[in-house]
A and B are shown apart, each in its own frame.
Chain A
């Protein structure tokens, strides 16, 4: 479904790639159009922390040269992409939204970046995020928040709010996010875009700066389900440099997106992720989407996942525990910030002064929470119990998937909230991820796609689809079918309704 109009920034990645392959547009023209768009709107959106126009034009030029030389181009060759600033890219600043890594230029590429380069995708720059991916709004970025293109006074979600905002502001047709507890899906939901958290181990974590290693997963973001599938197939697959990378064929997500068929599928509504606590317009669009899926030939049933009620608690013990350990590497010795190295302070004092100055409030909060949960005397009650809840959540999923093919829920309980509304109320902020967290704890795959605007505030609503591990293709079967039905109903994609900025 091509986005109509001749503006290159309003096309899908699939359409742009085809135009570049046929010579209808050059990769340089496509890249320049997006750089111009960034120049004209990013002072208001603040999706990007760093834009490397010169490098982007250079890589676009090499795509055009390959085409002229008669080389066969890949499915997304020459298409611009916005990269979340938590993935390393050799020689390009990688801050993770933190003062701790301000000006750090990594000496290596992450697996994801290697694969993007190999696919001739043009990386425009690095996108804003909550510091070290801790947050649901980008307000915890040390470099200031990103703004939601639907309403600039509102948050674009987090932690990958920069990537989602770049898509919704038509600054890039593709983006990479990372999802530890919902950081791809919740930003997608509140910006009217599509985001997928692949099965844990589906996309290698090499070069992904670790937040919580047993939960972190990089994934594709775009404005359509098919674009998301095309990007998914490029970044997914085994890499021996990540010990948790799955050595098995990547599910055929592109074929699934093309098939877009739910006939005969059993779709389960998670009883615990529905009803109370969900904004009226979110619940309404969710119900309407179920009716569409039923009309398309799916059978809708309700399933219970009783342990999900405890997922948020388990997550906010497991994540801080792993984070407190992972972030110990930021000690001011080998890279990043160093404070107080004046000859009088000892190495330990320099570490403490550096971490005090380099980390923001949310990062400190979670490091201390994790240090506490792991300390002797509390370990069994907190971290140990959380790990048991994780077992129960996996059992809930396993038993649900015995009777249904996918599970569904609203992605987030509300539409985008106002910047500043929850920034110093950690528990209120944590609740944004109530529906996305269970998937991370179990390692499943999940997608969020836009299903309309909430009538009460005119802001996008996200629909979450959850599949068993390594059944990522089912997300695309269901997502593409729903997207296509909604497109027929509206005559355009939801994102076309976003304000012009």
Chain B
């Protein structure tokens, strides 16, 4: 039985913003299938009556006083950015040309 097809892997790559090559798609389709078939065993013991655990510690919301604190240095942050302009991150166009 196949857990995942090549077309599904291509769709996942799009969702995950990975511009995979054709060779990678072939390779990953085969590997992900093997991995998924192995890990799918978890469903054998995961019966309806067992609660899910997302986290090892019980989490609760933590509030703090609303006090202004120094933030990161702007020049230092922008110096590490791939591109910047006018004290802001410069990003590629966000709309398609056809629109």
State the A residues within 8 Å of B (CB). 104-108, 200-201, 214, 240, 243-244, 246, 307, 310, 312-314, 316-317, 324, 328, 331-338, 341, 343, 345-353, 355-356, 359, 364-365, 367-369, 371-372, 375, 381-382, 384-392, 394, 426-427, 441-443, 469
A263 to B85, CA, bound (A): 66
> Given A200-B57, A332-B82, A388–B19 Cβ distance below 8 Å?
no
Residues on A with C-beta less than 8 A from B91 are: 333, 347
User: How many Å lie between the Cα of A443 and that of B57 in the bound state?
Assistant: 7
Q: Evaluate contact between A426 and B82: CB separation under 8 angstroms.
A: no
Q: Say how far A110's CB is from chain B's closest CB, in angstroms.
A: 13
B97 → chain A, closest Cβ, in Å? 8
Secondary structure dominating the interface of A:
helix
CA distance A243 to B31 in the complex (A): 36
CA distance A28 to B52 in the complex (A): 53
Beyond the given pairs A244-B55, A384-B46, 19 more chain A to chain B contacts, judged by CB atoms under 8 angstroms and listed by A's residue number, are: A200-B57, A332-B82, A338-B82, A341-B92, A343-B92, A346-B95, A347-B91, A352-B14, A355-B17, A355-B18, A356-B21, A365-B28, A367-B18, A368-B9, A382-B40, A388-B45, A388-B47, A388-B53, A427-B38
Query: Across the interface, do B50 and A107 meet the contact criterion of CB distance under 8 Å?
Result: no
Verify if B35 is at the interface (C-beta below 8 Å from A).
yes
- Given A338-B83, A371-B15, do A388 and B52 touch, yes or no (CB 8 Å)? yes
Question: Which A residues touch B55, using CB under 8 A?
Answer: 214, 244
B39 touches A201 (CB 8 A): no
Q: Is the CB of B57 within 8 A of A244?
A: yes
- Choose from B45, B51, B56 the contact partner of A442 (Cβ within 8 Å): B56
**B1-35 Cβ-contact flags toward A at 8 Å (1 or 0):** 00010001100111111111100100010011011
Residue of B nearest to A104 (CB): B80
Question: Is B68 at the interface (CB under 8 A from chain A)?
Answer: no
Closest B residue by C-beta to A307:
B45
The interface residues of chain B, by DSSP majority, are classed as loop
Q: Please, which residue of chain A has its CB at the minimum distance from the CB of B47?
A: A388
Q: A312 to B41: give the CA distance in the assembly, Å.
A: 10
Which residues of B from 34 to 70 have beta carbons under 8 Å from A? 34-36, 38-47, 50-57, 59, 62, 64
Number of A-B contacts (CB under 8 A): 175
Q: Check A368 against B42 for contact (C-beta < 8 Å).
A: no
Partner of B18, one of A107, A317, A356: A356
A389-B45 in contact (CB<8A): yes
CB A1 to nearest CB in B, in angstroms, measures: 34
List of A residues within 8 angstroms of B94 by Cβ: 346-347
A328 and B15 CA atoms in complex are apart in Å by: 11
CA distance A108 to B4 in the complex (A): 42
Q: Which of B14, B39, B53, B76 meets A387, CB within 8 Å?
A: B53
Q: Tell me if B42 and A313 are in contact (CB < 8 A).
A: yes
- B32 near A317 with CB under 8 A, answer no
Closest 4 CB pairs of A and B: A443-B56, A338-B82, A387-B52, A385-B46
Name which residue of chain B comes closest to A322, CB basis. B54
Contact B31 A313, beta carbon cutoff 8 Å:
no
Complex Cα distance A278/B23, Å? 36
B9 to chain A, nearest CB (A): 7
Contact B38 A244 (CB under 8 A): no
A385 touching B43 by the CB < 8 A rule? yes
| A338-B28 Cα distance, complex, nearest whole Å | 24
Whether A310 and B44, one on each chain, are in contact in the complex, defined by CB atoms closer than 8 angstroms, is: yes
Contact among A350, A368, A388, A427 with B51 in the assembled complex (CB-CB below 8 Å): A388
A243 x B62 contact (CB < 8 A): yes
Q: 5 A-B residue contacts at CB 8 Å?
A: A317-B39, A324-B16, A371-B16, A372-B36, A469-B57
Known: A346-B94, A364-B24. A469 touches B42 (CB 8 A): no
Q: Which residue of chain A has its CB nearest to the CB of B29? A: A368
Q: Is the CB of B35 within 8 A of A427?
A: yes
> Which residue on chain A has the smallest CB distance to residue B27?
A361
* Cα distance A368–B57 in the bound complex, in angstroms: 27
Q: Which of B4, B56, B77, B81 contacts A372 (CB 8 A)?
A: B4
A310 touching B42 by the CB < 8 A rule? yes
Once A310-B41, A356-B20, A427-B34 are accepted as A-B contacts, the answer to whether A391 and B13 lie under 8 Å apart by CB is: no
Q: Contacts of A328 on B, CB cut-off 8 Å?
A: 17
Known: A372-B4, A384-B52, A469-B56. Is A365-B92 also a contact (CB below 8 A)? no
Q: How far is the CA of A454 from the CA of B11 in the complex (A)?
A: 47
**Bound complex: CA A316 to CA B32 (Å):** 11
Q: Which residue of A lies closest to B9 (CB)?
A: A368
In-complex Cβ contact of A391 among B19, B34, B39, B51 (8 A)? B51
Asked whether, in the complex, the Cβ of B28 is within 8 Å of the Cβ of A387, the reply is no
